[in-house]
Amino acid sequence: MSNQQEKPVILADQVQTILTDLEPLSRKVFLSLTPPSSLDNRADVDQLRQNLERVFQPVRVPLSLMAKIPSLCRSSDWKVTATLAETGRGWDLIDLESGDSTGSHYGLAVDIGTTTVVAYLINLVDGTVLGHAADYNDQISLGEDILSRIRQAMEPGGLIRLQTLVINTLNRLIKQLCASSLKSGQITAAAIGANTTMIHLLLGLDPTSICRAPYTPIVNSPGLISAGELGLEINPLAPVYCLPSIGSYLGGDVIGGILVSGMHNKSDVSLFVDIGTNGEIVMGNQEWLVACAGAAGPALEGGVTAFGMRAEPGAVDHVSIDRKSGQVTYTTIGNMPARGICGSGLVDTLAELFLNGIIDRTARFTQGREKYIVVPASETAMGENIVVTQIDVNNFMATKGAVNSAIDLLMENVGCHWQEISHFYAAGAFGQYLPIESAITIGLYPDLPRPAIVRLGNSSGEAARQVLISRTKRMEAETIAAKVTYFELNANPSFMEKFVSSKFLPHTDLDRYPSVKKRLESRV
């Protein structure tokens, strides 16, 4: 699969925090045991456990490992490496290897998106990323979006089919990651960031209640589950930790985003936004966290614009229009002949159209135009013009309006002003590939001092990495989940009001966008 993923797979450097004092979900300990004698005739399993319990308390040795302990100890001259898994209330022995293998210690950090699944192979010795692999979620074959998946899960056998599909996807990625360099059984822990529905389908839990009042999931904090129970092809006793969710619409991916941003530890107020097909917005600081979520529309995912497409080869990803000549220049992913426009290309196009007065502040084409040719037919793969129409612009404005209204409503309700926002965290694709200046120009990002705008990349994957390698981060994630107050947008009558009035470029209140205002003025 191409590196040019719509969903970013690379963990942004600025957020790939280096954690000291690693406390990964699984630990390795090298032990030099005592061969039994008439002076020390403890049973092998008991001696092993007693040695481990000098550091880890208490340790359970599962029956499935007991049988192999005596022969392994003897064949390795009583020098063995034990792998222990955290259980949240003590430790389980999950593997025993000959000699000192503490230098080879692997974990898996996973981001399960509705569309894309990304897996990172983590070196649990130092917490670094050894490699990543990404692929579409096989569940796509049964429906593109969350609602259609939930509908599929209601069909007879549907739930198991969906579970099998995502497990297959994961196992394929695990195979890729291990390739020839290690056996998948050497992966002894995994952490997963995903929305609530994806977690339910992964666990084989009926997601129906997620989309039916009162919208309560079956579980928000599944706790630790063994890989074997799920069918994940790593060490079957490996603990799998799912980032906790807060409810049907705020999943572990969002908790992960908050965790990675660090906004929950700051005294100043931050804003976290992730916009895909669904949008999630979180605001708060170390004392409080308020969140809302809702459908954002697929405008940024290439779903509805006439020539919208995913960020794949041939997608127009950057566009600029020369102020004087009106000449369009663009680039495509992979330098292939243009086939359509992806999210970043659309944001660029709209910003350029607006800055050049081709669409006005109400987002309507001026001078009687009905569309704009981004790529002429002669340069496209299909031999027809790639255009942006008024309908495309309107669709985008609906998304942007929904996001702006939600943020405004949230701020109004907590009594917070834009001046107080210290950081704006943009997560996911929304926070990775969108051109910053263009996104500000059309009001998708706020017009804050540029260093205050932080793009988190695949924060769900990065959060999975962090909770995989750090007990402190796991506890922080649980604390965040317990702390976030969910703010119900749909129940709020003023949402529609704000929604209608926010359909301006970049915003109804131009003073909130001083840099854009300046550019517009310089244009005249």
Q: Which residues bind a copy of itself (CB under 8 A)?
A: 36-38, 41-46, 49, 58, 60-61, 63-64, 66-67, 69-70, 87-90, 203-206, 209, 213-225, 229-230, 247, 488, 491
Alpha helix positions (H), 193-311: 196-203, 227-230, 252-261
Distance of CA 250 to the CA centre of its chain: 12
Residue closer to a copy of itself, measured from CB, 93 or 421: 93
Give the nearest distance from C-beta 200 to a copy of itself in angstroms: 10
Give the nearest distance from C-beta 142 to a copy of itself in angstroms: 19
Residue closer to a copy of itself, measured from CB, 221 or 385: 221
Residue closer to a copy of itself, measured from CB, 196 or 395: 196
Residue closer to a copy of itself, measured from CB, 224 or 468: 224
Asked whether 425 and 263 are in contact (CB, 8 A), the reply is yes
Give the nearest distance from C-beta 80 to a copy of itself in angstroms: 15
CA angle 415/416/417 to nearest 5° reads 130
Alpha-carbon span 207 to 64, nearest angstrom: 33
Give the nearest distance from C-beta 120 to a copy of itself in angstroms: 24
Could you list the beta-strand ranges (E) of 155-250.
Answer: 187-194, 224-226, 239-242
Residues 6+ apart with CB under 8 A from 53: 59
Asked whether 315 and 341 are in contact (CB, 8 A), the reply is yes
The two tokens of residue 148 are 């259609």
Give the nearest distance from C-beta 295 to a copy of itself in angstroms: 19
Give the nearest distance from C-beta 72 to a copy of itself in angstroms: 12
Q: What are phi and psi of 373, to 5 degrees?
A: -85, 115
Give the nearest distance from C-beta 306 to a copy of itself in angstroms: 39
For residue 271, give the nearest of 138, 121, 163, 431 by alpha carbon: 431
Give the nearest distance from C-beta 50 to a copy of itself in angstroms: 10
Residue closer to a copy of itself, measured from CB, 45 or 140: 45
Residue closer to a copy of itself, measured from CB, 229 or 509: 229
Alpha-carbon span 402 to 502, nearest angstrom: 8
Q: How far is CA 91 from CA 27, 53, 265, 331, in A?
A: 10, 9, 29, 53
Alpha helix positions (H), 294-420: 343-355, 390-414
Give the nearest distance from C-beta 242 to a copy of itself in angstroms: 11
Residue closer to a copy of itself, measured from CB, 74 or 369: 74
Residue closer to a copy of itself, measured from CB, 42 or 323: 42
Residue closer to a copy of itself, measured from CB, 36 or 262: 36
Residue closer to a copy of itself, measured from CB, 69 or 255: 69
Cα dihedral sign for 456, 457, 459, 465?
A: negative
The two tokens of residue 509 are 């209140």
For residue 125, give the nearest of 265, 8, 6, 26 by alpha carbon: 26
Give the nearest distance from C-beta 23 to a copy of itself in angstroms: 18
Give the nearest distance from C-beta 370 to a copy of itself in angstroms: 44
Q: What are phi and psi of 405, to 5 degrees?
A: -65, -45
Residue closer to a copy of itself, measured from CB, 74 or 323: 74
Residue closer to a copy of itself, measured from CB, 177 or 190: 190
Alpha helix positions (H), 111-157: 146-154
Burial grade of 347 (CB within 10 A; 0-12, 13-18, 19 or more): buried
408-411 long-range Cβ contacts below 8 angstroms, 24+ apart:
408/498, 408/502, 409/292, 409/487, 409/489, 409/492, 409/494, 409/495, 409/498, 410/281, 410/283, 410/290, 410/292, 410/487, 411/283
Name the helix (H) or strand (E) containing 97. strand 91-98
Through-space distance between the first and last CA atoms of the chain, rounded to whole angstroms: 46
Give the nearest distance from C-beta 434 to a copy of itself in angstroms: 33
Residue found under tokens 């960031």: 193
